[in-house]
Structure 1
């Protein structure tokens, strides 16, 4: 994966295509041709070509195919918006090259750093969540033979869905990996207080991102635990080991400034959600944070496994395993097409 913006100077044979409810196939000249759709009543005085099909209605327990295209190509931007209260009940799946199992399978909200019931805005390089629920992904997603993106509605009601998936038709180099995502959920975490962010996956690959949603389940400071990256044959001890949860996400000293948490959202890391925002060190508070390893990818050749210790802090200045914590994590990595396998939940 190249750094954001590094390809903008290229004037080659790539062609831009975009799939939406107004152009379901993305074919040249096929946009705005609908004669019926969710906007038909509003456009009845204007005629053809005037926003007749801007969205779809996704029924309860229905799976919609948002995009199905032939390769080679690279998805450059994925934008969606829907009912903000059901982001955890909508399941996003992405398949590469006719694979029977998805390389990406997780709740829609978690893919966009929104694992809690209240919308959190994000201003980062790879994911942007804008008012009032615009979900944007700029992760480049190459494919060779084909790509398919689906969304399943696991909620108890029908929801509106607006979407646009933009990709370029272009050659994909042999060295390009496929984007994968693994979502893991611990509720409660239990003993030992170690949350698996990424089960062992084969290389070669590059680990590029972590989203973490945590509810500590105990009062006091909750982020003493280290993130550990076991790569290329590591077993008991990791090659890469951080110094604490807040440190990994770019913060320091308990995220505590003047007796309160301070949220931040930067291009590559952030603590973008604290619920409720005016409390501190409460057991039922909910936190969301992300780190994108775009400028500092974690490269592995043989295999990779990632874990998070969930540790709080006792008054006697000893660590407290957070066995009652609720934790959900999303791991993002690029993997060789020769070894890509389905992600687990």
Structure 2
């Protein structure tokens, strides 16, 4: 089986696969199984129309419960995920994916961060792999192959029920050999410890390639914040006598995300942008009251330029500004990262499971004073 066509020339090619889709209108994705519900969140609205008329468009996930979005028990490739819920839940719902019966998730990320909306405030994202459309229509086009089974869940960490609409489309049939498993990991440093780097990935073992970074970056001091370099430690770099030197070192945060000169367009200041592979779709400016710090959302998809590794991978990023005498100032910012990578196995070294307090965003509606 090949992943879905990625080039215009491929779209006309006939392929020996079948398309299935899981949603609240067809929880199993079964052929001919859609729209058969007789009860659901839309039953009252459809009471005069009956079955087939949007009786089950969504699900309600109770507080502190885990809901199974999808279970597939055959070789397949997930090609598209669409999902929406109220923005209050973007940091309190955690999406997880388990491949081929593994008991640990390969994907474990807060919902909003997975869709490049980590601050609980909508940002339009117009990229090849992630699209976030008004008002919180979240789309993923990351191919997610597996050889035997897949299980996707949402955990509600909050004290309030969450209504979720979703559709997960996948292709079955064919050969998935040679296709790696998609992983996504979230880490947050809040604040970043003094003179330390923010870990994006730590000691990933195996063969694979790194394909994406999203940062929700909260600035905790005045001045420019993006002089820090991102570094990729590949295939034994960490095991060298002085394991602090990577194979790939960037030249600055704005450089890594394809921008330049502080993202500062004369007369406009920080300027949002979206492109197929990189962008800064979100700049949240202080409101003079509860939102007292600047916040940024940035993405970088390594689709045309994946970072390949044969044995192991670690990734980190510095937080640097400026101080007197044209010297770098190490910063103690609020940095939340989501990293995407493909790996030859469904399990990888990962951070501790996420907790609601560690995900909370100061100054948002969850604050009792707002």
TM-score range, shorter chain: over 0.9
Find the counterpart in structure 2 of residue 196 from structure 1: 199
Cα deviation, residue 85, structure 1? 1.7
Residue 318 of structure 1, aligned match among 327, 346, 364: 327
1:116-136 Cα distance to aligned partner (Å, 9 max, x none): 121111000000000011010
Find the counterpart in structure 2 of residue 93 from structure 1: 96
List aligned pairs for 1:218-229, cutoff 5 A. Answer: 218-229=221-232
Distance 1:75 1:156, change over 3 A: same
State how far apart, in whole Å, the 1-side matches of 2:292 and 2:194 are.
18
List aligned pairs for 1:79-228, cutoff 5 A. Answer: 79-228=82-231
List aligned pairs for 1:296-307, cutoff 5 A. Answer: 296-307=305-316
Cα deviation, residue 101, structure 1? 0.6
Please say if residues 146 and 176 of structure 2, whose CA atoms lie closer than 8 Å, have aligned partners that are also in contact. Answer: no
Cα deviation, residue 283, structure 1? 7.7
Distance 1:273 1:4, change over 3 A: farther
Residue 348 of structure 2, aligned match among 324, 341, 345: 341
Looking at secondary structure, tell me which structure has more strand per residue.
1
State how far apart, in whole Å, the 2-side matches of 1:318 and 1:287 are.
24
Cα deviation, residue 3, structure 1? 8.8
Structure 1: segments with no counterpart, 5+ residues: none
State how far apart, in whole Å, the 2-side matches of 1:231 and 1:29 are.
47
Find the counterpart in structure 2 of residue 5 from structure 1: 6
Q: Is 2:265 the counterpart of 1:272?
A: no
Residue 336 of structure 2, aligned match among 304, 314, 328: 328
Distance 1:232 1:9, change over 3 A: farther
Residue 298 of structure 2, aligned match among 279, 289, 297: 289
1:49-88 Cα distance to aligned partner (Å, 9 max, x none): 1111000111111111010011210000011000112201
State how far apart, in whole Å, the 2-side matches of 1:213 and 1:224 are.
16
Find the counterpart in structure 1 of residue 34 from structure 2: 31
Please say if residues 202 and 303 of structure 1, whose CA atoms lie closer than 8 Å, have aligned partners that are also in contact. Answer: yes
Aligned residues: 341
Find the counterpart in structure 2 of residue 77 from structure 1: 80
State how far apart, in whole Å, the 2-side matches of 1:333 and 1:3 are.
18
State how far apart, in whole Å, the 1-side matches of 2:263 and 2:287 are.
13
Cα deviation, residue 45, structure 1? 1.3
Instruction: Give the TM-score normalised by structure 2.
Output: 0.89
Q: Is 2:66 the counterpart of 1:63?
A: yes
Show structure 1 runs of 4+ deviating over 4 A. 1-4
State how far apart, in whole Å, the 2-side matches of 1:32 and 1:40 are.
12
Secondary structure at 2:25's aligned position in 1?
coil
Cα deviation, residue 342, structure 1? 5.4
Q: Give the superposed CA RMSD.
A: 1.8
Distance 1:223 1:56, change over 3 A: same
Residue 238 of structure 1, aligned match among 246, 252, 263: 246
